[in-house]
Structure formats: C-alpha cells, structure tokens
Amino acid sequence: MLPKYKRILLKLSGEALVGDVKNGDPFDPKIIEQYAQDIKLVTNLGVQVAIVIGGGNIYRGMNEAESGIERAHGDYMGMLATVINAMAMQAMLEKIGVYTRLQSAINMEQVAEPYIRRKALRHLEKGRVVIFGAGTGNPYFTTDTAGSLRAIEMKADVILKGTRVDGIYNADPEKEPNAKRFETISFQECINQNLKVMDMTAFTLCMENQLPIIVFDMNKPGNLLKVVEGMNVGTLVQ
C-alpha cells in the first residue's frame, strides 16, 4: 500500500517510555524496541521520519513550588532529559539497522549535531531518521510545541502524536463508558468543546499553519504503519 504521508513528525511522550518497569528506571527497553520496530516499518515504505521525544519520564521542570527549583532552570533540566530519551531511541533504531541523526537545540557536540534546519532537511531527504533533542531549546515551552515547530520547519505532512490512548474522545473514556472517539475533528471544534489535544501554544501553531495532527496509540505494535497508510486509527485533527 502507498503511504498517505511522505514526511511525518512523530511526537513521542517521555512518560510512555516507562512501560511496565517498576524499579525506577526511566525507560522500558521493550517499549523503545517496539517503537523502533514500528518506525522501521514506515521507513521501509520510504516515508521520511522526524522525531521529537518528551522527557517527562526523567524530569519535568514545571513545578517550582514543589521542587524549589526556579521554573526556567527546571525547564532546562527537562530539556536535557529529552536528550537522554532521544539517545536511547537513537541507539535502538541504529541497532535494528535504521540510519539516524540526532540534532539538539542545546549544543552538546560530543553527542548530537546542533539543530540546523537545512541540514536536518538533507538528512530526511537521504532517508535518515532525524531525532530532535532538547525541545525548542527555550524554557516555558513543551515538547509538543517543539514537535509542532519542527514539523512546520521540516514541512512535514502531519504531526503524529503517539500516546497511550487511541485518539480524542468527547469525554474521559476511563470515567465515561459511553465516551465516543472522534475519527476526525476540526481545530475549531476542539476549541469549542475544550478538548485537550496539545497545550495551547502547540495547538495554535498547528492550526495557524494548517498542520494536521493525528493522536493515536503508539503502544500498539503496527499502529504507526496503519496511521501512515491512512487507515482509520486514532483521531485526525485538521
């Protein structure tokens, strides 16, 4: 089957990497391997893949009152956490034979290239998976915003938000057994119904730049391929 999308930006949550691990490790190698295998399947179709990973499994800088650490300082710590996840993802992808490049928005040349937009575009054209670490490089942002920003910069066809839920519902499916999943929904409807797809900064960037978002369950093996093939998986916001 021909893929529906030629270039994607995959936003992975840091928190989802924890999986079933209960010993305090930040990630479950089984989850990272499953993600890597799913990414390989879509690169085999010739789809160009860029990735932004969160850092919530290691550190989240948001809560100054609890941590006693100034917000901006904590945010930089959070950005460094995303680089650790990005390196883990990179290692797993390379292990299964997928070529990758890691670019970081905070310079650390021993482990990652600096973020250079035109260079990232060339990597994608050459079929390398490009992982963007350190979010936007700025405090007061999230990795969802980094994902939207990089997707627009890379002229990706779509941003795929891989989560542990299979889309956007009209109510919380864990509380409301009759909650209904949307197959597609407009940006405006999300605002009208106060549906939390991404934080407002990230969401607005997508809306203003007509970048469609697909929210889907990344923890189900094979789902990413289905999304890329245009099958009815998750929720499409456009």
User: Which residue in this structure is represented by tokens 């597609």?
Assistant: 184
Sheet holding 158-163, edge to edge: 113-114, 100-104, 129-133, 48-53, 7-12, 158-163, 213-217, 235-237, 184-185
Residue 24 neighbours by CB distance under 10 Å: 6
- Measured from the CB of residue 17, what is the shortest distance to ligand UDP in angstroms? 8
From 23, 25, 82, select the one nearest 56 (Cα to Cα): 82
Instruction: Tell me if 100 is assigned to a ligand binding site.
Output: no
CB of 76 to ligand UDP, least distance (A): 7
Cβ-based nearer residue to ligand UDP, 54 or 167: 54
Q: Closest CB to ligand UDP among 16 and 236? A: 16
The residues, ordered by sequence, that sit 6+ positions from 188 with a Cβ below 8 Å of its Cβ are: none
For residue 83, the minimal CB distance to ligand UDP (Å) is: 10
Q: Is 169 annotated as ligand-binding?
A: yes
Give the pairing of strands 235-237 and 213-217. antiparallel
* Binding interface with ligand UDP (CB under 6 A): 13-15, 54-56, 60-62, 74-75, 78-79, 81-82, 135-136, 138-139, 141-143, 145-146
137 in a known ligand binding site: yes
Pick between residue 1 and residue 116 the one whose CB is nearest to ligand UDP.
116
Helix (H) or strand (E) holding 50: strand 48-53
Q: How far apart are CA 97 and CA 89, in angstroms?
A: 13
> Nearest approach, Cβ of 149 to ligand UDP (angstroms)?
8
Whether 55 has a binding-site annotation, put simply, is yes
107 annotated among ligand-binding-site residues: no
Closest distance of CB 201 from ligand UDP, Å: 10
- In the bound state with ligand UDP, the residue whose beta carbon lies nearer, of 138 and 219, is 138
Q: Is 43 annotated as a binding residue?
A: no
Please state the closest distance from residue 46 (CB atom) to ligand UDP, in A. 28
Q: What is the DSSP string of 125-171?
A: HTT-EEEEESTTSSTT--HHHHHHHHHHHTT-SEEEEEESSSS-BSS
71 is in an annotated binding site: no
Cβ proximity to ligand UDP, 15 vs 229, nearer residue: 15
Q: 75 or 166, CB closer to ligand UDP?
A: 75
CA 208 to each of CA 118, 141, 161: distance values in angstroms, whole numbers, following the listed order: 22, 18, 18
Q: Which residue ranges make up the annotated binding site for ATP?
A: 11-14, 56, 60, 163, 169, 172
Binding residues for UMP: 55, 75, 136-143
Residue ranges of the binding site: 11-14, 55-56, 60, 75, 136-143, 163, 169, 172
